[in-house]
Amino acid sequence: MITAAVSPADVPLSVNQILTVGGALVAVAVYVLYKVGHYLVKVVEALATAAVVFIALWFAVKGLFLAIVWAVRHWRTTTTVTVVSVWCWWWGWLSLLLALAVLAAGLGVWRVASLPSFDRWAGRHLRSWWQRWLVYAPRMPRWLRSVGLTVPDRGGATVIQVNPLRRTATAPRERPRRDQLPRVLSVRSGPSWDEVKVRLVPGQTPEDFDQAARALAVARGVNRCQVRELSANVVSIDYQRRNLLDAVVTAPDLDAMAGLSGDAMDLDRVLSGATEYGTPWRQSIRGSHTLIGGATGAGKGCETREQLAWGWLAGSVL
């Protein structure tokens, strides 16, 4: 019997051998993928950590810069908040309330005793701070948008809305960015006028604000508003909150003064009218000249007996 030699390549693999080889290949592939995935996870984690650190550092630097700019620009408010915070930290809020009550009482007594000096040294500063943060800072942007004193984007696309009932085309709502809206720089508040200093944005002129003065007055709810150009890109919007000079000042009763001697008359403090604070306006008529100007019916002429007597008195001294 003759047996032929068979080559190993011609011998078919058994099922167990195929499974063993396939399993080994799969195990190698899974191990390689695991290593590659593990390496990629480390790379992604490193990139994510670096991105988080970079973004946090960027926001921290930006926040610090904005805080410094805000603190320098509004140093009065920053100083007040800092003092209040330190006071509460060291002595507590109860002592702060007591100190504020004493301060408010002192300011009230000062205001009653001498309104002009109070308004000059304290009242106008407190009123300016109050008017800026509670009136003009939150409301001025809306007023400027309502009267068209902004520079919005003009290239907004039209949005068409389609439903089973109708089809409408609407334009997107234009909201100006920070660089398109005039910024309030400062507020000075007097007894009857508020002066709001505003920085213009590119594309605006002081004449634009001058033409919109009446609309600004209506938006503020006052009767008068005037615009003054301070520089090429800064204007002052002046609002008259109230008119303290619209009432007629009654002259003193001359019948009660008929028996007074000349020495009893203080010619250095002659009552001449009222000031914008609502207090008597007195002036000296000794060795001086007075020029009076006013509209028709303002009281320039000597139309009554009291006015005639006061005019004769002033003329006799002059």
Mean pLDDT across the stretch 153-177?
Answer: 57
More confidently predicted of 180 and 101: 101
Which of 163-172, 244-253, 259-268 is predicted with the least confidence, judged by mean pLDDT?
A: 163-172
Mean pLDDT across the stretch 235-249?
Answer: 85
More confidently predicted of 230 and 254: 230
pLDDT confidence of 309, banded at 50, 70, 90?
A: very low
Residue 317 pLDDT > 50: no
Could you tell me the CA-to-CA distances from 120 to 114, 246, 280, 282 in Å, in that order? 10, 22, 17, 18
Percent of the chain with pLDDT over 70: 75
Instruction: Give the number of other Cβ atoms within 10 Å of residue 89's Cβ.
Output: 8
* pTM score: 0.60
pLDDT at 169: 53
SS3 at position 31: helix
Tokens of 155: 């290239």
Cα 253 from chain centroid (whole Å): 50
More confidently predicted of 246 and 170: 246
More confidently predicted of 175 and 89: 89
Contact between 202 and 177 under an 8 Å Cβ cutoff? The reply is no
* Cα angle, residue 78 at apex, residues 191 and 241 outer, rounded to 5°: 20
Query: Which residue, 282, 300, 299, is CA-closest to 291?
Result: 300
pLDDT confidence of 316, banded at 50, 70, 90?
A: very low
Highest mean pLDDT (candidates 95-99, 235-239, 268-272): 235-239
Query: Which residue, 103, 249, 195, is CA-closest to 111?
Result: 103
What are the pLDDT digits (tens) for 9-61? 555 666 676 777 777 788 888 888 888 888 888 888 888 898 999 999 999 99
pLDDT at 166: 62
Residue 311 pLDDT > 60: no
Residue 3 pLDDT > 60: no
pLDDT at 313: 44
Residue 254 pLDDT > 60: yes
What are the pLDDT digits (tens) for 49-81? 989 999 999 999 999 998 888 888 878 778 888
Mean pLDDT across the stretch 137-159?
Answer: 78
pLDDT at 237: 95
Mean pLDDT, the chain, rounded, equals 79
Residue 105 pLDDT > 90: yes
Phi, psi of 195 (to 5 degrees): -110, 110
Residue 91 pLDDT > 50: yes
Sign of CA pseudo-dihedral 218, 224, 229, 234: negative
